[in-house]
Amino acid sequence: MEKSRISSFPRSFTALFTLIVMQVSISRGQLAPSETRILFQVQKLLEYPQVLQGWNNWTNFCYLPPSPSLKVVCSNSHVTELTVVGNRSTSPAYPSSPQQNTLSDSFSIDAFFTTLTKLSSLKVLSLVSLGLWGPLPPKISRFWSLQALNVSSNFIHGQIPREILSLKNLTSLVLAHNLLNGTVPDLRSLVLLQELNLGGNLLGPAFPSLGNDLVTIILKNNSLRSVIPSGIKNFNQLQQLDISSNKLIGPIPSALFSLPSLQYLGLAQNQLSGALPANISCSAKLQYVDISHNILIGKLPSCIATNTSTRTVISSWNCLSGGKNSSYQHPYSFCNKEALAVKPPIKSKEQKSSTIKLGIVLGIAGAVLGTAGVLGLLVLVIIRRSKTAADDDQVYSMFDGSVASKRSAASKRSVASKRPVQSAVDSRRVPQTMRSAAMGLPPYRVFTLEEMEDATNSFDPLNFIGEGSQGQLYKGWLIDSSAVLVKCVKLKQKNLPQSMIQQIEVLSKLRHLHLVSILGHSIVTYGDHSSSAGTVFVVLEHISKGSLRDYLADERKREMLRWPQRMAIIIGVARGIQFLHTGVAPGIFGNNVKIENVLLDDSLTAKLSDYKIPLPSKVGSESPITGQDAFSTNSENAEKEDVYQLGVILLQVITGKPVASSRAVDELRIQLEKGLAEAPSKLQALVDPSTRGSFAYESLKTAAEITINCLEKDSRTRPSIEDVLWNLQYSIQIQEGWSSTSGNLGGPHSSSY
């Protein structure tokens, strides 16, 4: 009996201990009801992604089996970690059907993060490839306890909010593969931050300010355009640095290679220049170095000159000499010769002192003269502007209050045809306008054939872009490392020397803010006389951010083009066409105006490409009807054809719909006409949903009216380019007035539907 009592004691103790452990586990793992409701709200706001479809009223969130795509960790009845990985990825390439990769138009990123911030104990938040879109909201600062944030591979645009600096416990920040732009906030106050991954965005141009305790820095595939800061030498904990595929300039700081913890160094595809010092020492931990596709010169230091069993070095496509990979380098002339001077000459103290004194004297004298000059110039400008305003009051009355009354009384047809305007731009006005528009470009110059061969690597097939309207296009790099396009225009055999001189002179004038401007040319003739058939290599500036069609087709990029941005772009296109028609003599018409030929630069400035270059080329230079040189006929039909094509672009900008045929153009035009004739809501319903809430109805109406006029079947009834530009400027002026009154024009004028 006693023996039985003793033997039963361990079993009773074991059962009691198990019960206590279970009670403790339940108390730790049981989620508070309020946070359970929050997780269900997250499931709903994310539009029930596949990874969350198993959640229901019987789900115990704290005991979900962890997986690579879903992880919920609880502590003291609160969620401390939430990881959700979807299948709406934007990496490594843009999706072919972006509409299927973003959440719907009803998704609100502000409401989503408002819900998430109620998880007050959250320490790790990872939301990857879920189709999130919109700007990162400032209320992200409410994540008091957050230590790791990962919202990569989504469609988040705009700037990184400064409120992110409130997350003082943050050790990992991953915002890669989004559409973030602008300057990165100063992150030095995040003293615990160890991992920073902002790759695959549009951030720049300044290199971000970072704390020197970071272990991982990934800034690749952005728009950084500065030097690598010298302070990088203090990053002793840094193990991985990837700043490839930007536009970084200047020398590579030699201290980079000797950082004590560095293992991975990616500097490829920038514009880094100069020669690396021969006495560079490399850290023993350095395993991978990629400095390819820059404009480096000289010889590599011995520690990165060759690959070893413990270190991989990629240095191709620079201008480096020596080594086994010399056959995979550009010719020396490709790289900027000025980059030979790694350091500027150091002045002595006496030189510095005398220079400072002289600078002060010259500065005072210059200030006095400059002040007098500015006052005189100001008086002259006021006098000339008052005279100009009096002369042109009728033409430019859109800048005073009289326009509204004139416009309200005008019929749809009178938008373009019944306003008193000059038939062409005043000849005294155009050159001054166009000269100012061409500012910022390097001086026009004549290139040698050798320079063309160096720029294109002897017209390497790898640099071949395609066939333009007048010849083949190659990408190239000039000696100053700037990227250019080289168009190869083959000349017709019948060409008089005097005619050729005049045509080349026109080339040098094709420089404008809204054109892919011509930077210079090179002529190669075949025969003993300069009038023989040959080739003209036309050097154009290179715009790399894509076309207007690309932006409208990509759901992420489309969100960047609200109504004001779209109107600014279309006005830019109209100004480019106006310059071609009236800014050079003779005017250039029939300019291949297509939406894919409207390129956008970093600031979304429109630049018209593949326009007609006034050379007697073998390709596309003769009319199929008359056989005459197309450049010799500045006919009204050719002028109005450009206006029609501008109308086609306007149609796509307003509706967001691509048009691939004349039938599609007619169908959309008819829909616009019906929308104008019926209630405002009918016209608003035709507009690209991406522009909702961003336009004034009257601005939209004006743009729709001029679009319809541009698309008239009878070319004689189409407006001139000046008429189109006038109405577009009027439309944007209405828009600016609407914006300044917080979008409240009353009645049908608002677009907040």
Closest to 520 (Cα-Cα) out of 443, 608, 436: 443
pLDDT range class, residue 392, cuts 50, 70, 90 = very low
Contact between 415 and 712 under an 8 Å Cβ cutoff? The reply is no
How many whole angstroms separate alpha carbon 105 and alpha carbon 97? 16
Determine phi and psi for 540, rounding to 5 degrees: -120, 155
Give residue-wise pLDDT tens across range 682-737.
899 999 998 888 888 999 999 999 999 999 998 889 999 999 999 999 988 888 87
Cβ-proximal residues to 277 (8 Å cutoff; 6+ apart), any chain: 254, 301, 342
pLDDT range class, residue 523, cuts 50, 70, 90 = confident
Query: Lowest-pLDDT range, 181-195, 278-292, 592-606, 733-747?
Result: 733-747
In a 3-state reduction of DSSP, which class is residue 488? strand
Contact between 683 and 705 under an 8 Å Cβ cutoff? The reply is no
How many whole angstroms separate alpha carbon 651 and alpha carbon 648? 5
Helix (H) or strand (E) holding 350: helix 349-391
pLDDT range class, residue 545, cuts 50, 70, 90 = confident
What pLDDT does 509 receive?
A: 86
DSSP for 224-254? Answer: --SBPPGGGGG-TT--EEE--SS--EEPPPG
Q: Calculate the alpha carbon distances from 14 to 2, 17, 19, 20 in Å.
A: 20, 5, 9, 10
What pLDDT does 336 receive?
A: 59
How many whole angstroms separate alpha carbon 645 and alpha carbon 63? 61
Predicted confidence (pLDDT) at residue 434 exceeds the cutoff of 50: no
Evaluated on CA atoms 350, 352, 355, 356, the torsion sign reads: negative
Compute the average pLDDT of residues 223-232.
92
In a 3-state reduction of DSSP, which class is residue 588? coil
Helix (H) or strand (E) holding 381: helix 349-391
Contact between 47 and 86 under an 8 Å Cβ cutoff? The reply is no
Residue range 423-749, CATH number: 1.10.510.10
Predicted confidence (pLDDT) at residue 80 exceeds the cutoff of 80: yes
Closest to 592 (Cα-Cα) out of 644, 555, 520: 644
CATH number of the domain at 31-224, out of 3.40.50.280, 3.40.50.2000, 3.30.2130.10, 3.80.10.10? 3.80.10.10
Query: Lowest-pLDDT range, 167-171, 255-259, 551-555?
Result: 551-555
DSSP label of 175: -
Give residue-wise pLDDT tens across range 608-665.
998 888 776 554 443 322 233 434 444 567 888 999 999 999 999 999 999 988 899 9
Q: Calculate the alpha carbon distances from 408 to 241, 705, 732 in Å.
A: 60, 13, 16
621: left (phi over 0), alpha (psi -120 to 50) or beta: alpha
How many whole angstroms separate alpha carbon 503 and alpha carbon 215? 59
Compute the average pLDDT of residues 475-498.
78
Compute the average pLDDT of residues 384-392.
42
Compute the average pLDDT of residues 168-179.
95
Predicted confidence (pLDDT) at residue 365 exceeds the cutoff of 80: no
pLDDT range class, residue 363, cuts 50, 70, 90 = low
Q: 632-639 long-range CB contacts below 8 Å, 24 or more apart?
A: 634/586, 634/587, 634/589, 635/589, 636/715, 636/716, 637/715, 638/589, 638/590, 639/581, 639/587, 639/589, 639/720, 639/721
Give residue-wise pLDDT tens across range 395-415.
333 223 333 333 333 333 334
Q: Tokens 């010399």, residue?
A: 326
What pLDDT does 653 receive?
A: 94
How many whole angstroms separate alpha carbon 450 and alpha carbon 388? 49
Domain boundaries, the chain: 1-29, 31-224, 246-253+264-342, 423-749
How many whole angstroms separate alpha carbon 510 and alpha carbon 198? 39
What pLDDT does 65 receive?
A: 87
How many whole angstroms separate alpha carbon 543 and alpha carbon 514? 12
Cβ-proximal residues to 305 (8 Å cutoff; 6+ apart), any chain: 299, 313, 323
Compute the average pLDDT of residues 350-365.
46
Contact between 117 and 163 under an 8 Å Cβ cutoff? The reply is no
DSSP label of 579: I
How many whole angstroms separate alpha carbon 192 and alpha carbon 167? 10
Contact between 524 and 534 under an 8 Å Cβ cutoff? The reply is yes
Give residue-wise pLDDT tens across range 274-331.
889 888 999 999 999 999 989 999 889 999 988 888 998 989 888 998 766 677 888 8
Query: Lowest-pLDDT range, 130-134, 154-158, 508-512, 738-742?
Result: 738-742
Predicted confidence (pLDDT) at residue 573 exceeds the cutoff of 50: yes
Predicted confidence (pLDDT) at residue 580 exceeds the cutoff of 80: yes
Provide the CB-side half-sphere exposure for 378 (13 A, CA).
6
Compute the average pLDDT of residues 429-455.
68
Residue 748 token pair: 């049908």
